[in-house]
């Protein structure tokens, strides 16, 4: 029988204090190990031992996930998949100096992936900062049968691997110096030979195009090796593009690129060109507008997309000062501004001082009526043919806008779903509000076109 006195709470407290008394001298004898006091050669040996496995844990996580999906228990039930958990080596968290000394040792190890990504995000396996500091990457497709029916996400997982890795490498600043791409899967080779040029419902052509489009965005890798069955024309294009340098614009801060694009691609040049062509000094001089694309938009696709987004978010004002040379403007707005550019604008302001410019509203309404991104629209009209609010000889009141102006403004009803529509100048007069208020509601998408006032008013034909 055990001694009950030894199991009492008082006995447990006594044993705890006695154990503390034994460990206390040992604790007092311990001193902080001064790791940084070791010679540099020994510290490098410690770093090499700690990081001997390199980045193999990344590929092992995917391999374990695949093993759990393809293995069943003794009861015939599929095992629950194991999702990886990203963690950092504790050695890298000691202090900044150790981090700076150990990081190059870790970066010398290549990152090798054999299994793709399946449905695992790359950010769950490795951080973007760590990935961009790796010197060598090896990607293979021989880790498992990509077309295994038990792994339905394997086929698209290899394409996702190329897309996510290329997305992290397309920006300037990575340290990858060597990249190996191995296309050696016999299953994919068979599909490439039998399905690429046929319309049989196989996604091999789309898969190959997606992988190629992803890798061709990468720049700045000095040594690129491509092995396997990838078509020769794709190999040549990828080697040429991936081994080329980044554009100088890609190395600039985003704010600097934004300011350069705002200066070069200033859409307000449209107003300046039209005003210069219709100035009194140029009367009688033939004017042929030349619509060109700024050369900065032709550097590369990434820079073009960035500049288009920046230019689309800026306000565009079409401010026409002088009347056109002819009674009506014979040119189209598309000779100065492309339709796609006009549809990407988020803010549009039109300032007209002469009715002869009203045909421009016809062009703009038809272009934006087929699609736009407008958040705000403002029309300012300083009418040069405003009618006085006096009765006509027949006794009818003169209304504003008159029939001719109303017919021109009526085209703006083709534009709908605009966030905010405002009118200025003579159109802001309370006399014209009966028409502009209905036009505003129609353009903002609040009321149907049949409820807009003034529609079908035949009596206004007699208004002078």
β-partners of residue 351 are 319, 380
Rounded to the nearest angstrom, the gap between the alpha carbon of residue 292 and the centroid of all alpha carbons in its chain is 25
Sheet harboring 136-139: ordered strands across? Answer: 111-113, 136-139, 178-183, 223-228
Structure confidence at residue 393 as a pLDDT band (50, 70, 90): low
Structure confidence at residue 448 as a pLDDT band (50, 70, 90): very low
pLDDT of residue 455: 38
Q: Which has more pLDDT, 451 or 130?
A: 130
Give, for 102, the enclosing helix (H) or strand (E): helix 96-107
Nearest-angstrom CA–CA distance, 433 and 133: 63
- What is the mean predicted confidence (pLDDT) over 143-154? 82
Q: What is the mean pLDDT of the chain?
A: 77
Please say whether the beta carbons of 411 and 365 come within 8 A: yes
Structure confidence at residue 340 as a pLDDT band (50, 70, 90): confident
- What is the mean predicted confidence (pLDDT) over 78-95? 68
- What is the mean predicted confidence (pLDDT) over 43-48? 86
- What is the mean predicted confidence (pLDDT) over 158-180? 88
Query: Which residue in the block uniquely carries the two structure tokens 């004017």?
Result: 287
Q: 51-65, 152-166, 277-291, 378-392: lowest mean pLDDT where? A: 277-291
pLDDT tens for each residue of 114-126 = 888 888 888 888 8
Nearest-angstrom CA–CA distance, 137 and 139: 7
Number of H helices, E strands in the chain: 16, 8
Q: The tokens of 458 are what?
A: 């035949």
Q: Provide the Cα torsion 398, 401, 404, 410; round to 10°.
A: -140
Nearest-angstrom CA–CA distance, 193 and 230: 11
Rounded to the nearest angstrom, the gap between the alpha carbon of residue 237 and the centroid of all alpha carbons in its chain is 24
β-partners of residue 376 are 347, 420
Give, for 27, the enclosing helix (H) or strand (E): helix 9-29
pLDDT of residue 180: 93
Q: Which has more pLDDT, 2 or 223?
A: 223
Q: What is residue 265's three-state secondary structure?
A: coil
Tally of CB atoms within 10 A around 84: 16
Give, for 224, the enclosing helix (H) or strand (E): strand 223-228
Q: What is residue 190's three-state secondary structure?
A: helix
| Greatest mean pLDDT range, 88-92, 285-289, 388-392 | 88-92
Q: Residue 243 contacts by C-beta under 8 Å, 6 or more apart in sequence? A: 221, 222, 223, 224
pLDDT above 70 as % of the chain: 76
Does 141 score more than 50 pLDDT? yes
Q: 302-306, 362-366, 448-452: lowest mean pLDDT where? A: 448-452
Q: Which has more pLDDT, 13 or 402?
A: 402
């Amino acid at each position: 029988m055990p001694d009950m006195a030894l199991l009492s709470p008082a006995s447990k407290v006594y044993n705890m204090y006695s154990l503390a008394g034994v460990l206390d001298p040992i604790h007092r004898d311990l001193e902080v190990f001064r790791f940084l006091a070791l010679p540099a050669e020994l510290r490098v040996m410690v770093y090499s031992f700690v990081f001997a496995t390199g980045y193999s844990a990344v590929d092992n996580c995917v391999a374990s996930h695949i093993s759990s999906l393809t293995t069943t228990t003794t009861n015939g039930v599929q095992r629950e998949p194991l999702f990886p958990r990203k963690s950092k080596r504790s050695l890298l968290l000691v202090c900044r100096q150790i981090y700076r000394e150990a990081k190059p040792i870790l970066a010398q190890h290549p990152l090798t992936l054999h299994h793709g990504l399946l449905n695992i995000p790359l950010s769950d396996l490795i951080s973007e900062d760590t990935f961009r500091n790796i010197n060598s990457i090896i990607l293979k497709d021989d880790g498992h049968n990509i077309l295994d029916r038990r792994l339905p996400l394997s086929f698209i997982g290899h394409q996702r691997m190329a897309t996510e890795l290329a997305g992290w490498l397309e920006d300037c600043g990575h340290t990858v110096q060597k990249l190996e791409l191995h296309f050696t899967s016999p299953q994919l080779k068979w599909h490439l030979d039998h399905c690429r040029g046929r319309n049989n419902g196989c996604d091999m052509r789309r898969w190959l195009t997606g992988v190629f489009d992803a890798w061709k965005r990468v720049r700045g890798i000095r040594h690129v090796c491509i092995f396997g069955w990838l078509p020769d024309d794709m190999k040549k294009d990828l080697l040429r593009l991936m081994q080329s340098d980044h554009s100088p614009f890609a190395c600039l801060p985003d704010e600097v690129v934004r300011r350069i694009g705002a200066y070069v691609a200033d859409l307000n040049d449209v107003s300046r060109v039209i005003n210069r062509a219709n100035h009194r000094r140029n009367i009688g001089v033939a004017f042929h507008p030349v619509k060109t694309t700024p050369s900065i938009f032709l550097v590369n696709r990434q820079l073009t997309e960035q500049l288009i987004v920046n230019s689309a978010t800026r306000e565009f004002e079409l401010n026409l000062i002088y009347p056109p040379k002819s009674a009506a403007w014979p040119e189209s707005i598309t000779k100065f501004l492309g339709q796609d550019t006009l549809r990407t604008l988020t803010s549009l302001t039109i300032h007209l001082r002469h009715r002869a410019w009203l045909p421009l509203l016809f062009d703009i309404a038809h272009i934006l009526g087929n699609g736009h991104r407008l958040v705000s629209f403002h029309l300012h009209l300083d009418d040069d043919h405003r009618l006085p609010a006096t009765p006509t000889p027949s006794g009818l009141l003169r209304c504003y806008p008159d029939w001719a102006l109303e017919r021109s403004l009526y085209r703006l009803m083709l534009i709908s779903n605009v966030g905010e529509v405002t009118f200025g100048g003579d159109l802001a007069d309370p006399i014209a509000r009966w028409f502009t208020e209905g036009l505003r509601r129609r353009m903002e998408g609040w009321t149907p076109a049949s409820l807009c006032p003034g529609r079908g008013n035949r009596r206004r034909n007699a208004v002078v």
